[in-house]
Amino acid sequence: MIALLVGGVLGWSGSTKLFGRNTPVQASGTVLERKLGGLPRATAALRAVGAAELLVALALVALPVPLVTGALAALAGAGFAAYLGYARATAPDSSCGCTARDKAPIGVRAFARAGFVLAGGAVVLAGGLAADGLPAPAGGPWWEALRDRPGAALGLLAAGTALAWLLFGDPDRAVRLPLRRLRLRLFGNPLHGGAGPGGDPEAVPVEGSVELLERSLAWQTVTHVVRSGLREHWDDEGWRFLRYTGLHDSGPDGAEGAGRPVSVVFAMDAKAGLDSPRPPVIRVGVVDEETGERVDVTAGRERPGALLGEGV
């Protein structure tokens, strides 16, 4: 069952990289973009990694040769860990490129993902070396384990799936968002400014606007520039403005280290939330902090996708 579990994880990860339209978003901000000379090359490299992951996943799920498939999975996990270590050492602020949403710097969770694949491959390999010495759910083809000991096999698969979801999924959104909504229904919104000049009583919490922004195409278009969390925010005539700071690479050849400080300001409907029936219009402007001039940060870069009504 371990082969099925690791194969499922690699299959999901590889398919999102190879076929997903958000692959350029995953590649942006990674060490691949910096070392390979731009986003298009980094995107191509990430798609190649996705294709390799899919091949390993198919081997794990379909081939009854644990010596080969386990070794491939273990090598994949070791390769992921080596890449993360290199990226952490050479570009500490880079993201891992694991998912389009996860743009945080490489941390413990990214290494845990690589360790999950490495450990799973090692277990499958050990099952091939000494299948008789391992329980049926761990050693041998997964379909034999499911046939011989279905209860133990399904239990192991369920536990492994839960662990994989914690590492590769988005548990914060799945758990925290419903709790936030329940809290707001029970106790009201502590961030509403009221009907007076202090704020709009129908405006959503600022944290809700930030979460909606970070899931938008407008954010994905300029995420390679942003280098900070939310610096300040204000509401004006129904619009909510969110300001971040960042660096724009202004070198003629895109050389690393030629960046200049910029302010990245987003404007969106103050009443728009994750429950809104339609995606809100989100406009973004990037301004050079030294000259006050507007900067085009999309020139010469592959865009993550059409803005679908979101202004840049």
Instruction: Tell me the CA distances in angstroms from 193 to 6, 146, 206, 240, 243, one per residue in order.
Output: 49, 57, 11, 13, 19
Residue 186 has pLDDT above 70, yes or no: no
Residues in the chain: 312
Q: Which residues contact 79 (CB under 8 A, 6 or more apart)?
A: none
Lowest mean pLDDT among 38-52, 151-165, 171-185, 209-223: 171-185
| pLDDT tens digits for range 225-264 | 888 888 888 888 888 999 998 887 654 444 444 567 889 9
What does the pLDDT average to over 195-199? 43
- Among residues 245, 248, 242, the alpha carbon closest in space to that of 295 is found at 248
pLDDT score, position 197 = 42
Model confidence pTM above 0.95: no
- Residue 285 burial (CB < 10 Å; 0-12/13-18/19+)? middle
Residue 75 has pLDDT above 90, yes or no: yes
Percent of the chain with pLDDT over 70: 75
Domain spans in the chain, listed from the N-terminal domain onward:
1-186, 204-286
Report the relative pairing of strands 239-249 and 232-236 from DSSP bridges: antiparallel
Structure tokens at 56: 């390993």
Cα R_g (the chain), whole angstroms: 23
What does the pLDDT average to over 281-300? 82
